[in-house]
Amino acid sequence: MMEIIPAIDLIGGQCVRLTEGDFAQQTTYDSNPLDVAKRFEANGIKRLHLVDLDGARAKKPVNLAVLESIAAHTKLTIDFGGGLQSDEAVKQAFDAGASQITAGSIAVREPEKVKAWLLKYGSEKIIIGADFKGTNIAISAWTEESKYPLQEFISGYVQTGAKLFICTDVSKDGKLQGPSTNTYRHLKLTLPDAGIIASGGVTTIDDLEQLQEIGVKGAIIGKAIYEGTIQLKDLQRFVC
């Protein structure tokens, strides 16, 4: 069964969404992320993708207090990302209540460090963030496009023991124009051992049905929930 994973992106402790990762294209949806998380849980949601956008810019966690609050007041399984550049930052995230962390830019820049995290915490605890533009990996809060091909990047980490990959199409994110279904289908066919979590562009229930048919491990949903193109009650058949 495909996991449904709503996203909460944090700036200044508030629930926001960006378009294509552009901080100049920001919409604030709720000043209390805990209330949002509780709404998700009340509708049967079990997972949460929590992104510290302030932390991504600062290169260190900034919104750990929000993580701590949601972890303490819900039973959601939280994966936390944004600014996790050091061993200490990863420890802080787990200590604050994260069940998993997402290694993004650091997985491109310092693969040896991330491999050490995989060994220390296990492949179920460390998710590799494979954000992409076109066919290449994007880094630095999506402001830079690397020369690292997406497929080669994921394949390399599979060989070192990673199992979970959040694959976000930056060009689709926040646009409500549908996900990169063909990319995910190709990744599933060519890298069957990679647990692909689709992210970016999910807009309708039909999008989710297509992703489930492909066999991705999970789908992250952000703006579609906040803008109402997907209703929380309609997700319940995916999370039973």
Please report the beta strands in 84-186, taking only residues with DSSP state E, as ranges in sequence order: 100-103, 126-133, 136-139, 144-149, 164-169
Q: How far apart are CA 131 and CA 171, in angstroms?
A: 10
For residue 148, what pLDDT is reported? 85
Active site (annotated) includes residue 234: no
pLDDT at 231: 96
Lowest-confidence region among 13-17, 32-36, 92-96, 103-107: 13-17
What average pLDDT does the segment 138-142 reach? 62
13 vs 9: CA distance, rounded Å: 9
What confidence tens digit (pLDDT) does each residue in 89-117 have? 999 999 999 999 999 889 999 999 999 99
Whether 26 shows a pLDDT value over 90: the answer reads no
Output the pLDDT for position 145.
61
Alpha carbon distance 133, 111 (integer Å):
20
Q: Is pLDDT at 141 greater than 60 in this prediction?
A: no
Query: What are the structural domain ranges in the chain?
Result: 3-239
Which candidate in 9, 54, 79, 173 is catalytic? Answer: 9
Return the CATH superfamily for domain 3-239: Aldolase class I (3.20.20.70)
Whether 22 sits among the annotated catalytic residues: the reply is no
The Cα-based distances of 229 to 30, 66, 83, 188, 202 in angstroms read 17, 26, 30, 27, 10
Marked catalytic residue, from 54, 131, 169, 173? 131
Q: How confident is the model at residue 28 (pLDDT cuts 50, 70, 90)?
A: confident
Q: What is the pLDDT of residue 19?
A: 67
Q: For residue range 45-99, what is the model confidence (pLDDT) as tens digits?
A: 999 999 999 998 899 999 999 999 999 999 999 999 999 999 999 999 999 999 9
Q: Averaged over 202-219, what is the pLDDT?
A: 97
